[in-house]
Amino acid sequence: MMFMIHSRLAVNLLLAAASACAAESAPSSGDNSRTNLYQEKYRPQFHFSARQWTEYKLNPGLREEGWMNDVNGLIYFDGEYHLFAQRWAKCWIHAVSKDLVHWTELQPAFWEDLRFGAGVQSGGAVVDKDNTSGLAPDAKTKPLVAFWAGWDNRSQCVSYSLDKGRSWKEYERNPVLVHPERDPKVFWYEPDKRWIMVLSDEGSYHFFTSKNLLDWSDLNVSLPYSYECPDMFQLPVDGNLHRQKWVLVRGNGRYSIGEFDGAKFTPETDQLPCDLGANFYATQSWGDITGQPGRRVQIAWMNGGKYPDMPFNQQMTFPCDLTLHSFPEGLRICRLPVKEIKSLYGKKQTWKNLIVRPGENPLQDISGGLFDIQLQANLAGAKEFGLKCGGEPVKYSSDRRTLSCLGKEAPVEAANGCLTLRILVDRTSIEVFAGDGKVAMSSCFLPGPQNTGLELFSLGGSLKIVSMTVHSLKSAWPHFARPPYWDNNTAR
């Protein structure tokens, strides 16, 4: 079975080899000076990617500064979103944001402990708002508690922060649990007033419980056909906070909707894809966002992207709001970019009731490489239509009823001949959302030197654009001042 042969190590070794091959054949990218941070040729301008701290090296590989893979414990605390990610088990990358768009990368959160093998693997984090752990010396301080697995794939450990995540201390009595395998996801289960841990366990998810985050009991419940990087949460059904369902997302982005009784998750759906693009893996999500009840924001590692001769390697998807909606076939998750993207909006252009004939391109005067595009199309007589973004086509086939982008296809129904699309274009990625987010496709690409601007096309007949808006986007990194700690050697 797929989960038995899949290995994070195998995936990442292949990625490293691919990146190395791409680097060997790629031309020089020009100015790679350290003062050019966040402005490098292939650096995403509104998707998060990692930086280097103590060295400047092109094409960083596994465990090296600038590399990034699995998303780790995401928490919201005191007005800040905390984003963690793997540097391939060397440490956890750590960044904070007020708006999910503009990020400040901090020093790595914590490091491998050789007592448990040469690596600190993926996991989760929580805000211990009632200090159930007793890790804070006073009632006013709310510990941030992170859970990670050692490289031995059995030692489940804790690190914690008492200063809003600016420094971390390893729990002196680690490990808090010894059980195969890794990727502990922890959340609070309010009906029973206790914590739940979901652990990836050799092709299954295994469940544990604790009152204090430090002493764990086995619930003796496993969920098969589940592997790596679990995420589990509730979502309101059709926006109703009084009617919620549990969602369990696996490392490959496939999710199940069901019920959870504090010990056992009972799926009510098959495993369904969050995303059908070429680069989407190891998702995690933010919840418990102050003043925004029911909001759940997901982000994933865009594994497999290539960035030749760059001082970084890999990027994240753009954060997306998750909502749960009723459809004729049942409940389904919808994903759409977070509304905070509006802070990057530049020039806006709109069209209404536009007829596009084969060979015409009404977007020919638009230049640039960063866009948020929203359109509603009436296919009319068109057999195929689409947009070329950075030279890469996003196209819909009326005959096949499929949406395709960068080598991947997704089934999409055009209700009554109409289709809605939302497309985010960054320097090295395209994210497509169809049917108000019911179908999503996240993929990476390398643009050619002349591939900027947009091309709207129709084949086999005329297309009617009912409405279309194109926002040019500003960089999320408009200014970067070299920090005074750039060359300090606290990073390893």
User: For 216-236, how does the pLDDT look when each residue is reduced to its tens digit (9 = 90+)?
Assistant: 999 999 999 999 999 999 999
State the pLDDT at residue 276. Answer: 98
State the pLDDT at residue 480. Answer: 54
CATH dotted code for 345-473:
2.60.120.560
Tokens of 157: 């450990």
Q: Give Cβ neighbours of residue 141 (< 8 Å, ≥ 6 apart).
A: 131, 162
State the pLDDT at residue 35. Answer: 67
Pairwise CA distance, residues 296 & 174, whole Å: 31
CA 471 to chain CA centroid, Å, is 22
CA 456 to chain CA centroid, Å, is 28
Query: Which residue has better confidence, 79 or 11?
Result: 79
23 pLDDT band, cuts 50/70/90, is very low
State the pLDDT at residue 485. Answer: 35
Q: What is the pTM of this model?
A: 0.92
Pairwise CA distance, residues 129 & 148, whole Å: 20
Taking all residues of the chain, what is their mean pLDDT, rounded to a whole number?
91
pLDDT in tens, 110-126: 898 899 998 999 999 99
State the pLDDT at residue 479. Answer: 62
Please give the full DSSP string across 396-407, using - where no structure is assigned: EETTTTEEEETT
E strands within 340-477?
A: 345-356, 371-378, 384-389, 392-397, 402-405, 408-411, 418-426, 429-434, 439-444, 454-459, 463-473
Query: Which residue has better confidence, 447 or 468?
Result: 468
Residues of the chain with CATH 2.115.10.20: 2-337
pLDDT in tens, 136-190: 999 899 999 999 999 999 999 999 999 999 999 999 999 999 999 999 999 999 9
Residue 112 φ then ψ, to 5°: -55, 145
CA 225 to chain CA centroid, Å, is 22
Q: Give Cβ neighbours of residue 490 (< 8 Å, ≥ 6 apart).
A: 107
State the pLDDT at residue 412. Answer: 97
For 2-337, the fitting CATH number among 3.40.50.1860, 2.115.10.20, 2.40.30.10, 1.10.10.10 is 2.115.10.20
Please give the positions annotated as active site.
70
Inform me whether the pLDDT recorded for 483 exceeds 90: no
Residues of the chain with CATH 2.60.120.560: 345-473
State the pLDDT at residue 112. Answer: 86
Inform me whether the pLDDT recorded for 366 exceeds 80: yes
State the pLDDT at residue 451. Answer: 72
Pairwise CA distance, residues 340 & 479, whole Å: 19
28 pLDDT band, cuts 50/70/90, is very low
State the pLDDT at residue 12. Answer: 43
Residue 5 is inside which H or E element, if any?
helix 2-5
pLDDT in tens, 371-389: 999 999 998 888 999 999 9
CB 335 within 8 A of CB 322: yes
Q: Of 164, 157, 209, which is closest to residue 183 (Cα–Cα)?
A: 157
